[in-house]
Structure 1
Amino acid sequence: MEVKVVSKESIKPSIQTPHHLRNYKISFLDQFTPCSYIPVILFYNAEDNVDEFEVPQLVVKKSLAETLSYYYPLAGRFKDVHYSIECSDEGVVYMEAQANFNLSEFLENPDIPFLNKFLPCNGNCLQPCYNQPLLALQTTTFECGGIAIGVCMLHKVVDASTMSTFLKTWAKLSHGEGDETLYPDFTSAVSLFPPIESLPIKFQRNSEDFYFQGSKSPMRRFLFESKAIKALKANTSSKTLPFPSKIEALTAFICKRIATASKSLMDAPKTLLITHAANLRPRAEPPLPQKSFGNLLWLPFAFYDPLDTNMELPDLAIMLREVFAQLTAENIKDIDSECTFASINELLESWSTIENIKIFRFTSWCNMGLYDVNFGWGKPVWVAHMGDLPDAHVRSKQQFVFLESACREGIELWVASDDEEIRVLEKDSEFLAYASPNPSIICITKI
């Protein structure tokens, strides 16, 4: 199998950005977010791609330029990485590639490391933000006519929710559905979380230590089918929390199995620091628009001692629910205070120096509408994350991403880590009783 890039160009907004919008200030939450690309790949079947008079690449290129007029900061560049983007219409990277095999061959036996061939750049690796493209895209055409759209968006500017909203806008514009309602909200994030103009260099270094480490890391994919999720929710429920969410149940179960693996590896296993990205948009008062641009995320965290024999699945779910419950509207307003900033800086510094703590970072991309991104040739038959995190780059620490399955009935878990605990986990019979390692992509004809 081979994927060959045949062209690379810069796509600029179809309408020039007005002078008064040429400087876009990022928020404090953007400043706290790492400078790395969020990767996602959308695969589309060959059936009914477009009519005979239109070529898919021409459709997506034209609508991409129109979308950038709505999302004009993405066509700019960081000139002051801690503070603002110069919206200079320099454009985004757009690549076209050809695959010498059929999409069905790949979906039947998905090669996870090979997924990076469908992406325009390295994802989840520390990048220099200054003068970097904020968005890169790659369309790959298969021999059967199927298409993959690989997207890399700079996390310093957007979160997964903004990425999803951008993709849905891009798809709508490909149908000629542009109107005023598609414009993103560029004011909410910076108004609620104004940037810190003199951000200490030490804070940036501590933040990078929290997110990144060296060495290559393989990516693993597991599928939890609906029946397994239902069973895990039942096992996780309690009088205190009778109806845990799917993500709460899955996170509790995974953490429990990681803790068991940790205990089997060492006499004094490290304490697990569990973080789970929380979308602040619906939690603010009043709620922020879903199309609010930027990073509107916070990282609630909890500590879990693997030697705590009293901590069972229901207890873990309760702990996770309590951590999220602390994100009240009042507490959200205090995030950008000097006191909060000082506390974050102190925590980041302590976590980077304490050797008996291991960080496991969870995030969910479920219910974001990624399977609804339709450019005119149907909805995606599969939405994938990425392949292995490459060697010779500073890559993301232990990361767990939840994505809806191709059938929408299950949930996929994407794990980026080469730690001993994960190698034990993927052979753990109790874990594998619920999780299927990298199965074929089925239900293709049901989408």
Structure 2
Amino acid sequence: MWSKLLRFRFSRRQFHTIVSREIIKPSSSTPSHFKTYNLSLLDQTMLNSHTPIVAFYPNLDQTSHDKTKTLELKNSLAKTLTQYYPFAGRVKKTSPTYVDCNDEGVAFIEATNDISLSDFLQRSKHEDLDPLFPDDLIWFDPHIRGDTEGVTCPLAVQVTQFACGGVAVASTLFHKVGDGRTMLNFLNHWARVTAKKDTSLINPQILHYPTRTINLSEMIDRSRVGCVTRSFLFPNRKLNDLKAEVTAMTMESGQPVMNPTRVEVLSWLLHNRAMAAATEKNSGTFKPSGMAFPVDIRGILVEKLSATSVGNLDLSIECPTRNESELKPHILISEMRKMKAAFQCIQNWEAATEIFGQMSPETALETLKRIDDCYIYTSVCRFPMYDIDFGWGKPVKVTFGGTIKNITVLMAAPDGDGIEALVCLEKEDMKILQNDPKLLAFC
């Protein structure tokens, strides 16, 4: 019935075909006292978006049929959802305050692509990943399917079989229910259940909050319209050169920054060059902006949270760049460190949420708007991206769907040598950035 329901032709020789769609429900019912999952105040302030992640696997298991793999994935997903029960519920798309954990289930979509996985990865641009994700739930895609009367499921999954037998497992999570770390923890858990491996050390920690509403009258929605996402690879050897250069620059300033991290110096470099591109496009006129960096606070609070805690457990460092002098590394990196150190003094998660809880709606919205005007740099370098093993071996590539304007995601390079940066800019800015010798010197 669903065979050949939908086809995308997204490069000269590729057809992507949706072949089936099924709703997978948790294998056991959610207890009645967990039927309502309140979103924290920080959850409620998150972008009204979906976070798309896809992992690619070559056809290493020649004895396993595609139908067997798919059935195993469905069965293990049902088991996994019993522990991630908010993901199988329903939530309002606009200004939600809770998830109705009604066990209605998540969409599981099967698709095929008529070329080999190696050809796909070699030839495709980042936008070609879009059809791999379920129901167009790619950040702020304007053509979202699968929701009824403003209500949606937080999670959706799509499994794509390539002509060679390779597989792409893509999933997307409503950002107000969880952050990137939540999503990667879920994928690792689901993979271990599929592979029949022990999950006791990675069981999710579901935090429960009292009913509270921040009452924001409007929310910030970034767009991908007019933007492109491109990948830049920075090997460790080049990153070490960059660290040495940044250290020398800060020494010359008289305000040395000692032992800068790879993420610190790379975030500084990318922001510096993105601002240079914007200035060049703007006929040499510098446009004030800022740099924001979400910090995963699970492990840095005085009372630490489990690494498998579910939710949006991060706070944003915000560094203004109102003029070109504020782009200097001793200013930006020192400010990043100072603000992160302040987060480390927060006693517990309840105290962290009060940062927004004590604000008036007007002040909270103004804070969010200020951050929205910034270029955002987020790192998942230490997250378990390449541990997602469904029993077919580790993935050859894990990445995010095309991001949104002025957002950069830093993650481990596929071969472990360095950092891959997914950068989304307006097309004219990206054209300049891709030819910037000061950036390419470290690629």
TM-score by length of 1: 0.85
SS of corresponding position for 1:219: strand
Superposition misfits of 4+ residues, deviation over 6 angstroms? 126-129
Alpha-carbon separation, structure 1, partners of 2:423 and 2:42: 25
1:75 and 2:88 matched: yes
Alpha-carbon separation, structure 1, partners of 2:304 and 2:355: 24
What is the identity, as a one-letter code, of the residue corresponding to 2:442?
Answer: Y
Residue number in structure 1 paired with 2:229: 219
Pick the aligned partner of 1:249 from 257, 261, 265: 265
Residue number in structure 2 paired with 1:299: 316
Mapped contact 2:379–2:409 kept (Cα < 8 A): yes
Select between 174-183 and 213-222 the one with higher mean Cα deviation. 174-183
What is the identity, as a one-letter code, of the residue corresponding to 2:81?
Answer: L
Alpha-carbon separation, structure 2, partners of 1:353 and 1:313: 21
Instruction: Please state how far the C-alpha of 1:429 moved relative to its aligned partner.
Output: 1.6
Mapped contact 1:49–1:56 kept (Cα < 8 A): no
Pick the aligned partner of 2:246 from 236, 243, 248: 236
Q: How many residues align?
A: 415
Instruction: Please state how far the C-alpha of 1:370 moved relative to its aligned partner.
Output: 1.1
Alpha-carbon separation, structure 2, partners of 1:182 and 1:313: 37
Provide closer, same or farther for how the CA distance between residues 277 and 351 of structure 1 changes in structure 2, counting only shifts above 3 A: closer
Q: Deviations over 1:270-293 (max 9, x none)?
A: 212111110010111211001111
SS of corresponding position for 1:261: helix
Mapped contact 2:277–2:433 kept (Cα < 8 A): yes
What is the percent sequence identity of the aligned residues? 29
Residue number in structure 1 paired with 2:286: 269
1:94 and 2:108 matched: yes
What is the identity, as a one-letter code, of the residue corresponding to 1:185?
Answer: Q
Alpha-carbon separation, structure 2, partners of 1:213 and 1:60: 33
Pick the aligned partner of 2:275 from 259, 275, 279: 259
Pick the aligned partner of 2:422 from 410, 414, 419: 414
Mapped contact 1:42–1:148 kept (Cα < 8 A): yes
SS of corresponding position for 1:277: strand
1:43 and 2:51 matched: no
Instruction: Please state how far the C-alpha of 1:373 moved relative to its aligned partner.
Output: 0.5
What is the identity, as a one-letter code, of the residue corresponding to 2:83?
Answer: Y
Provide closer, same or farther for how the CA distance between residues 343 and 364 of structure 1 changes in structure 2, counting only shifts above 3 A: farther
Alpha-carbon separation, structure 2, partners of 1:178 and 1:133: 28
**Larger relative contact order, structure 1 or 2 (CA cutoff 8 Å, min sep 6):** 1
Is there any run of 5+ residues in structure 2 with no aligned partner, and where? 1-13
Select between 105-114 and 173-182 the one with higher mean Cα deviation. 173-182
Provide closer, same or farther for how the CA distance between residues 242 and 350 of structure 1 changes in structure 2, counting only shifts above 3 A: closer
Alpha-carbon separation, structure 2, partners of 1:28 and 1:76: 19
1:366 and 2:381 matched: yes
Provide closer, same or farther for how the CA distance between residues 350 and 40 of structure 1 changes in structure 2, counting only shifts above 3 A: closer
Mapped contact 1:223–1:411 kept (Cα < 8 A): yes
Mapped contact 2:215–2:361 kept (Cα < 8 A): no
Q: Deviations over 1:322-355 (max 9, x none)?
A: 232221333765443377642784264377599x
SS of corresponding position for 1:326: helix
Alpha-carbon separation, structure 1, partners of 2:240 and 2:28: 49
Is there any run of 5+ residues in structure 1 with no aligned partner, and where? 390-395, 436-447
Q: Deviations over 1:198-252 (max 9, x none)?
A: x3242xx1x41xx424734221111112222111111122453221111101001
Mapped contact 2:189–2:202 kept (Cα < 8 A): yes
Pick the aligned partner of 2:189 from 169, 177, 181: 169
Mapped contact 2:40–2:353 kept (Cα < 8 A): no
1:159 and 2:174 matched: no
Alpha-carbon separation, structure 1, partners of 2:354 and 2:170: 38
Instruction: Please state how far the C-alpha of 1:78 moved relative to its aligned partner.
Output: 1.5
Residue number in structure 2 paired with 1:143: 163
Pick the aligned partner of 1:107 from 94, 109, 121: 121
Provide closer, same or farther for how the CA distance between residues 413 and 167 of structure 1 changes in structure 2, counting only shifts above 3 A: same
Alpha-carbon separation, structure 2, partners of 1:425 and 1:338: 36
Residue number in structure 2 paired with 1:196: 212
Alpha-carbon separation, structure 2, partners of 1:413 and 1:11: 34
SS of corresponding position for 2:392: coil
Provide closer, same or farther for how the CA distance between residues 97 and 349 of structure 1 changes in structure 2, counting only shifts above 3 A: same
RMSD between aligned residues: 2.7
Residue number in structure 2 paired with 1:433: 441
TM-score by length of 2: 0.86
What is the identity, as a one-letter code, of the residue corresponding to 1:377?
Answer: W
Provide closer, same or farther for how the CA distance between residues 366 and 88 of structure 1 changes in structure 2, counting only shifts above 3 A: same
Mapped contact 2:302–2:347 kept (Cα < 8 A): no
SS of corresponding position for 1:115: helix
Pick the aligned partner of 2:307 from 286, 290, 297: 290
Mapped contact 1:335–1:341 kept (Cα < 8 A): no
SS of corresponding position for 1:227: helix
Provide closer, same or farther for how the CA distance between residues 227 and 170 of structure 1 changes in structure 2, counting only shifts above 3 A: same
Mapped contact 2:89–2:103 kept (Cα < 8 A): yes
